């Protein structure tokens, strides 16, 4: 609600009551003289007037000093607060109220409260801008990632309809390519659904104790053919009693992604080392490869959705670009921050710790 002219200002309010107090002091002084039996009439009018002038003069001097101090300690700081607050309201959220040392503590506390509110507003605005930027990038990336396999399938089918079906060898080859792109599209949609459910909180986790050692051995066995195709050897060093507390299905998703990445981005004849180790009632899990590695400038971004260190290689070996983002979200739900160490040409190590 906008302020109205009916409301008194601090200055007017102070002048009124101080003047009223001054008049009251004079009247009280005269009343005191009368009550003490002093013959007021005997003092004479000049002496009474002189007395009133002296008392009033001293009183007005005190009022003037008070108003001057009030101006410097209260009015000017409040005017500064109003000026900066209006600027913040108009969009200058970076503005902050700075008061002189003479300002009263209560006024300083008001300014501090407004500064904290402005700081929070600035952070909220920055976060909204970041989320809007992420949303725009996400929509653009999804559109691009979906368009590629759809256009590929469309192109292969059009070629077949235009007469390539008459050639059995060509038709089979194009059908296989269309099928592979359909599989890629299905994997992308599945990952999009997973990450959407995780980020929205819709995906519920089922935590219980289980032996992750058995899970890792099964995954290594399941990836033997793919590792053999890449001429990669997978080594598995599992500690005894590798029991952890977590969602078995989602941790299977995590380890599958990490092991497949370690194989895909390895070199021919390379190695992958899967290790578990007990540390203070927790299980330390690591996946290390001897592959191409990740440049240092890319490490902070590898868990971003659709971020690819090497786009050409990533598309050649497959993948949706969402795997590591899903891994990060799942491990965050397990309160297990993930760490990555990598050096180009040497390899990459990804580690996390689960409650044992």
Question: Can you give the chain as a three-state secondary structure string?
Answer: CCCCCCCCCHHHHHHHHHHHHHHHHHHHHHHHHHHCCCCHHHHCHHHHHHHHHHHHHHHHHHHHHHHHHHHHHHHHHHHHHHHHHHHHHCCCCCCCCCCCCCCCHHHHHHHHHHHHHHHHHHHHHHHHHHHHHHHHHHHHHHHHHHHHHHHHHHHHHHHHHCCHHHCHHHHHHHHHHHHHHHHHHHHHHHHHHHHHHHHHCCCCCCCEEEEHHHHHHHHHHHCHHHHHHCCCEEEEECCCCCEEEECHHHHHHHHHHHHHHHHHCCCCCCEEEEEEEEECCEEEEEEEECCCCCCHHHHHHCCCCCCCCCHHHHHHHCCCCCHHHHHHHHHHHCCCCCEEEEECCCEEEEEEEEEC
208-355 folds as Heat Shock Protein 90 (3.30.565)
Range of lowest pLDDT (85-89, 282-286, 294-298): 85-89
Residue of 328, 342, 292, 299 lying closest to 313 (CA atoms): 292
Domain positions in the chain: 10-31+45-103, 137-200, 208-355
Task: Please give the distance of CA 228 from its chain centroid, rounded to a whole number.
Answer: 42
Q: Which residue has the higher pLDDT, 274 or 122?
A: 274
Predicted confidence at residue 117, as pLDDT, reads 84
Model confidence at 9, in pLDDT bands (50, 70, 90)?
A: low
Residue 125, pLDDT above cutoff 90: no
Residue 29, pLDDT above cutoff 70: no
Q: Which residue has the higher pLDDT, 17 or 161?
A: 161
Mean pLDDT for the stretch of residues 35-45: 60
- Which pLDDT score, from 0 to 100, does residue 245 have? 93
pLDDT in tens, 107-120: 888 888 888 888 88
Return mean pLDDT, the chain. Answer: 81
Q: How many CA atoms lie within 13 A of 25 on its CB side?
A: 18
pLDDT in tens, 153-178: 888 888 888 887 778 888 888 888 88
Beta bridge partners of 340: 350
Distance, CA of 50 to CA of 144 (rounded, Å): 94
How large is the average pLDDT for residues 294-321? 73
Q: What is the mean pLDDT of residues 62-80?
A: 77
Binning pLDDT at 50, 70 and 90, where does residue 234 land?
A: very high
Is pLDDT at 217 greater than 50 in this prediction? yes
Whether 183 shows a pLDDT value over 70: the answer reads yes
Which residue's structure tokens are 């009263």?
104
Asked whether the predicted pLDDT for residue 1 surpasses 50, the reply is: no
- Give per-residue pLDDT as tens, 253-264: 999 999 999 998
Percent pLDDT > 90 in the chain is: 22
Residue 297 pLDDT = 87
Read off the pLDDT of each residue in 76-88 and give the average, rounded to a whole number.
82
Q: What class is the 137-200 domain?
A: mainly alpha
Say whether pLDDT at 265 is over 80.
yes
Distance between CA atoms of residues 178 and 157, nearest Å? 7
Q: How far apart are the first and last CA of the chain?
A: 59
User: pLDDT category, 339, cuts 50, 70, 90?
Assistant: very high
Whether residue 43 has pLDDT greater than 60: no
């Amino acid at each position: 609600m906008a302020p109205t002219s009916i409301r008194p200002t601090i200055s007017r309010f102070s002048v009124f009551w101080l003047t009223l107090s001054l008049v009251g002091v004079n009247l009280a002084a005269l009343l005191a003289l009368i009550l003490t039996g002093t013959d007021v009439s005997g003092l004479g009018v000049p002496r009474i007037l002189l007395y009133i002038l002296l008392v009033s003069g001293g009183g007005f001097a005190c009022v003037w000093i008070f108003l001057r101090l009030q101006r410097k300690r209260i009015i000017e700081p409040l005017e500064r607060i109003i000026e900066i607050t209006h600027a913040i309201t108009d969009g200058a959220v970076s503005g902050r109220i700075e008061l002189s040392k003479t300002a009263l503590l209560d006024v300083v506390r008001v300014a501090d409260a407004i500064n904290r509110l402005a700081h929070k507003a600035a952070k909220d605005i920055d976060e909204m801008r970041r989320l809007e930027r992420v949303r725009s990038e996400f929509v653009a990336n999804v559109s691009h990632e979906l368009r590629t396999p759809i256009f590929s399938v469309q192109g292969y089918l059009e070629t077949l309809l235009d007469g390539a079906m008459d050639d059995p060898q060509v038709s089979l080859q194009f059908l296989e390519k269309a099928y592979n792109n359909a599989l890629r599209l299905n994997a992308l949609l599945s990952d999009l659904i997973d990450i959407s459910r995780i980020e929205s909180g819709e995906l519920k986790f089922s935590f219980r104790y289980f032996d992750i050692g058995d899970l890792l051995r099964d995954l290594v066995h399941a990836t033997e053919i793919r590792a053999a195709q890449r001429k990669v050897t997978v080594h598995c060093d599992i500690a005894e009693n590798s029991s952890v507390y977590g969602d078995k299905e989602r941790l299977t998703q995590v380890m599958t992604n990490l092991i497949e990445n370690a194989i895909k981005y390895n070199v021919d004849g390379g190695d992958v080392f899967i290790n578990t180790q007990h540390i203070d009632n927790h299980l330390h899990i690591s996946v290390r490869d001897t592959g191409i590695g990740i440049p240092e400038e890319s490490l902070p971004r590898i868990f971003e959705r659709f971020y690819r260190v090497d786009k050409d290689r990533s598309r050649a070996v497959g993948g949706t670009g969402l795997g590591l983002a899903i891994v990060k979200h799942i491990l965050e739900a397990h309160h297990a921050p993930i760490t990555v160490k990598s050096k180009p040409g040497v390899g990459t190590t990804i580690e996390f710790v689960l409650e044992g």
